[in-house]
Structure 1
Amino acid sequence: MSAPRTVVGVSGGVDSSVAALLLVRTGEPVAGLFMQNWDDDGSGECRAEEDRRDAVAVCGRLGIPFHFRNFSREYWAGVFEHFLAEYAAGRTPNPDVLCNREVKFKHFLAAARELGAERIATGHYARVAFEGGRWRLLRGADRDKDQSYFLHQLGQEQLAATVFPIGHLPKAEVRRIAREAGLPTHAKKDSTGICFIGERDFRQFLGRYLPAQPGEIRDPQGVRIGTHPGVFYFTLGQREGLNIGGVRGRPAAPWYVVGKDVAANILYVDQDRDSPWLMSREVRTEAMHWIEGAPPAAEFACTAQIRYRQEEQACRVRVQDDGTLRVRFDRPQRAATPGQSLVLYDGPACLGGAVIAATDAPVPGRSGPAERTVR
């Protein structure tokens, strides 16, 4: 059997199934590879085995070879340990970004090359273009499904060896193609969240690795409101899970997390969804990753997202000597969160991204404004 030119990451979902189908229709040699990134922890919540069976069925339907690789050890070391460390520090990490960089476009790419392939393909809603001698990552045509935000850590080597066969299609068209082709995944529900958490309660899962450390909930002025099971279970702007009942002298309105003091184990809350304690105009990042290898200028205007599916926000970027960024937004941003990713765009082109380190939002519990970082 000849080596495949392209190995498709078949996840058992409709998107990767159609990505494989479209490549098969070009007539080139294609193979599928299923990645297991998390070992079953006995909870029965991870759908890896069900997804694997669906991936096998799709490859059988398409008449292409099926391969399997277990990357759970690599995922633990490259993604999950960082995930836990960030939460323990009071930050809010994005494991999908690291999974793409450390597993899907590193170990998967290496496995595909071991099989003799020249390139890999996935079912991501994104596009790749070669312009001006450089590879560019572009948004997917379906703005609601665009996943370039999660791919911002890719570089020239990965993009040169990657195709996104469905990046030019809307989701509805992907479903239609799958249905008309009789693919067994055509009506399968999209997966949400993180595989290793599945449908279970997030706090319950995290508590297996970061034991509860109860502490006080206070308002921004330091008045005690209630208690919490651990500050690392919460993120800025969060409303759910606070379990704050009626508070004497306070309106019967929802409470929102507006700050965390990890060292003192204090969670700060406010009843204004757009509380001034949540709003920031400037963000400082860790070292920036540039998809094309370098910034377009030392200072420039572009748009940015501080979370997935956020509308693009106009901003001005200043590149620091140490490779970090200072980004000032035209409008105040709600709940810019240390540990999350700030991703820059020039039109449809993703320039790259970096982890948010701090913001200029006021810090609850202090008498004056200060740059917010996790204490």
Structure 2
Amino acid sequence: MSAAPRIVVGVSGGVDSSVAAWRLVQQGEAVAGLFMQNWADDGSGDCRAEDDRRDAVAVCGRLGIPFHFRDFSSEYWQGVFEHFLAEYAAGRTPNPDVLCNREVKFKHFLDAARELGAERIATGHYARVAHAGGRWRLLRGVDTGKDQSYFLHQLGQAQLAATLFPIGDLHKPDLRRLAREAGLQTHAKKDSTGICFIGERDFREFLGRYLPAKAGEIRDPHGVRIAEHPGVFYFTLGQREGLNIGGVRGRAAAPWYVVGKDVANNVLYVDQDRESPWLMSTTLRSETAHWIAGAPPARRFDCTAQTRYRQPDEPCTVEVRDDGCVDVRFARPQRAVTPGQSLVLYDGDECLGGAVIAHTDAPQAQASPFQIQATEVSAR
């Protein structure tokens, strides 16, 4: 019987996890690979899990390490996908990657690795872990264009203590070069993008299987009917594509942007100004915040924040409420801060934690009917 691995690497069949495993093998670690199936094949032919699994098997074979498989599709459905559907049904825009990391990759995967006798897990995330000042810290990846700390902000001390990010110090071109030189067949494989369980298929068609569409009116912020939409929950704030608004009599030939959603009345609101005042906010309130250190740095502090992935750092002031939620005020107005998405807080390269955005002071977030707020915005 072979000895238990010291580290189990989450091998996804992509180049990032392939190089993560290769680097650990090069360091002389006792390594095994584990492929997680998080989505059951729905018969559409769009799921790439089997192709990814074959690539993961090939990489483990190339590296001479054991390969393991676990089906977490049931756990994913209950811990991630049901929440995803509920959020869209409520008119919010969720971020399933954040929940997947918390509920599957750093929970069920970690448990599975320990059942195999491992001390730690490793993944191909572009992030870093450091231990300083008596605690574990989550740091951004060196490649700022690929940094994934945003999606990892729900991790805690116990998870970080058991986790390695072997590629966090690499830039993507260097990583692909290493993969090529190591003879890993994934070296030129295209990066996966978008929501993992949707893949390359049409988002509306997929969501329509679970949330029946209901057509409704598209209006401008003053309540004037502009067109018709196929389902209000298909759209998110700031969105331009997919509105299918043709020429509107009396209106400029300019793009339209989603600036608000009234789910109860099935109305979508749009404006032709990308920087529409209806999209701008300076404050937000979150749901209960998670702190990587176990507690916030202070009841009130200054830091930077991202309200969407790959957004430039935005200076802000954070105030922690008695109920565990946070109030955030930005130094400058923010565009399309979206309820359901994640607010992630940073002190330089260190990720402090974050929370789901509950609501903002943007006019689109105010009480219905939407157009009642028009006079308030114009007076600001």
TM-score range, shorter chain: over 0.9
CA distance in 1 between counterparts of 2:52 and 2:312 reads: 32
- The amino acid that maps onto 2:135 is R
SS in 1 for 2:118: coil
User: Residue 157 in 1 paired to residue 163 in 2?
Assistant: no
SS in 2 for 1:303: strand
Shift of 1:272: 0.3
Match in the other structure for 1:200: 201
- The amino acid that maps onto 1:174 is L
Match in the other structure for 2:238: 237
**Count of residue pairs the alignment pairs up:** 371
CA distance in 2 between counterparts of 1:325 and 1:367 reads: 25
User: Residue 51 in 1 paired to residue 52 in 2?
Assistant: yes
User: Residue 278 in 1 paired to residue 282 in 2?
Assistant: no
- The amino acid that maps onto 2:349 is P
SS in 2 for 1:158: helix
- The amino acid that maps onto 1:366 is I
CA contact (8 A) 1:47 1:195 kept: no
CA distance in 2 between counterparts of 1:252 and 1:205 reads: 31
- The amino acid that maps onto 1:56 is V
Shift of 1:95: 0.2
Shift of 1:194: 1.6
- The amino acid that maps onto 1:44 is G
Match of 1:366 among 354, 372, 375: 372
CA contact (8 A) 2:221 2:374 kept: no
User: Residue 189 in 1 paired to residue 187 in 2?
Assistant: no
CA distance in 2 between counterparts of 1:13 and 1:39 reads: 19
Match in the other structure for 2:222: 221
Which segment drifts farther, 9-18 or 360-369?
360-369
- The amino acid that maps onto 1:197 is I
Shift of 1:229: 1.1
Shift of 1:367: 3.4
Match in the other structure for 1:293: 294
Shift of 1:44: 1.0
CA distance in 2 between counterparts of 1:89 and 1:267 reads: 14
SS in 1 for 2:114: helix
User: Residue 27 in 1 paired to residue 28 in 2?
Assistant: yes
CA contact (8 A) 1:362 1:369 kept: no
Shift of 1:370: 8.0
Match in the other structure for 1:316: 317
- The amino acid that maps onto 1:236 is L
Shift of 1:369: 7.3
Shift of 1:137: 0.2
Match in the other structure for 1:138: 139
- The amino acid that maps onto 1:306 is T
Match in the other structure for 2:367: none
SS in 2 for 1:59: helix
Shift of 1:362: 1.1
- The amino acid that maps onto 2:338 is T
CA distance in 2 between counterparts of 1:246 and 1:357 reads: 35
SS in 2 for 1:64: coil
- The amino acid that maps onto 1:109 is L
- The amino acid that maps onto 2:24 is L
CA distance in 2 between counterparts of 1:258 and 1:16 reads: 38
CA contact (8 A) 2:363 2:373 kept: no
Shift of 1:220: 0.1
- The amino acid that maps onto 1:258 is V
- The amino acid that maps onto 1:2 is A
1:101-126 CA-partner distances (Å, limit 9, x unpaired): 00000000000000000000000000
CA distance in 2 between counterparts of 1:243 and 1:368 reads: 25
Shift of 1:320: 0.5
1:222-250 CA-partner distances (Å, limit 9, x unpaired): 00001111110000000111111110000
User: Residue 84 in 1 paired to residue 80 in 2?
Assistant: no
Shift of 1:28: 1.5
**4+ residue segments displaced more than 3 Å:** 367-371
- The amino acid that maps onto 2:372 is R
The alpha-carbon distance between structure 1 residues 366 and 186, as it changes in their structure 2 partners (threshold 3 A), is: same
1:192-245 CA-partner distances (Å, limit 9, x unpaired): 112210101101110010011111100000000011111100000001111111
CA contact (8 A) 1:317 1:325 kept: yes
- The amino acid that maps onto 2:302 is A
The alpha-carbon distance between structure 1 residues 195 and 367, as it changes in their structure 2 partners (threshold 3 A), is: closer
Shift of 1:157: 0.6
CA distance in 1 between counterparts of 2:299 and 2:259 reads: 33
The alpha-carbon distance between structure 1 residues 369 and 74, as it changes in their structure 2 partners (threshold 3 A), is: farther
- The amino acid that maps onto 2:53 is R
Shift of 1:15: 0.3
CA distance in 1 between counterparts of 2:199 and 2:29 reads: 35
- The amino acid that maps onto 1:260 is K
- The amino acid that maps onto 2:140 is R
1:343-362 aligned at under 5 Å gives the runs 343-362=344-363
Match in the other structure for 2:69: 68
1:105-116 aligned at under 5 Å gives the runs 105-116=106-117
Match in the other structure for 2:124: 123
- The amino acid that maps onto 2:122 is A
- The amino acid that maps onto 1:4 is P
RMSD between superposed Cα atoms in Å? 1.0
CA distance in 1 between counterparts of 2:376 and 2:340 reads: 18
- The amino acid that maps onto 2:371 is G
SS in 2 for 1:259: strand
